[in-house]
Each structure stands twice: as C-alpha cells, then as structure tokens.
Amino acid sequence: MDRGDKQTGGRKDRIPPNQRATERFPVLTYGPVPHIDLSEWRFTMTGLVEKPVSFTWDEFMALPQVGST
C-alpha cells in the first residue's frame, strides 16, 4: 500500500487533481502571518449565552487548559 492508498483508504481517486497525500504536517496557511497586539486582543462571547463574557489575552490564557493525545 503506498502513501496515496494509506491516506485515502485505498481510493486514489479521492485526492483532488494537482494535490497529493502527505504524512508530513500540512501547511494550512498561505502568505504572511499577521501581527496581533496582545495588549489589544479580546475574546468576546455574546449571543445566545446566559452571561456574555470578554477576556483579555492574559485572562484567556489563565483559564484551565487541557491537551489532547
């Protein structure tokens, strides 16, 4: 089984034209990465929530975090 078969479950025709399967980490962006001023950054949650909230970067990063394996 080659890499194309492994990535597509044996169906090479599932890879779009001009693309290829890879086992390396894919590039998910194109172009320069914008600079974000973290002193101005805010995460705001509003809408259909019981209590709208807004966090600064430091407040957001201080929230409990979990990792995935």
Asked whether 13 and 21 are in contact (CB, 8 A), the reply is: no
> What is the pLDDT at residue 1?
46
The CB-side HSE value for 16 (13 A sphere, CA atoms) comes to 1
> What is the pLDDT at residue 47?
97
**Mean pLDDT value across residues 2-18:** 63
Each residue's pLDDT tens digit, 15-64: 888 888 888 887 778 889 889 999 999 999 999 999 999 999 999 999 99
Q: Which helix (H) or strand (E) is 42 found in, with range?
A: strand 42-45
Query: Quick check: 8 pLDDT over 80?
Result: no
> What is the pLDDT at residue 7?
52
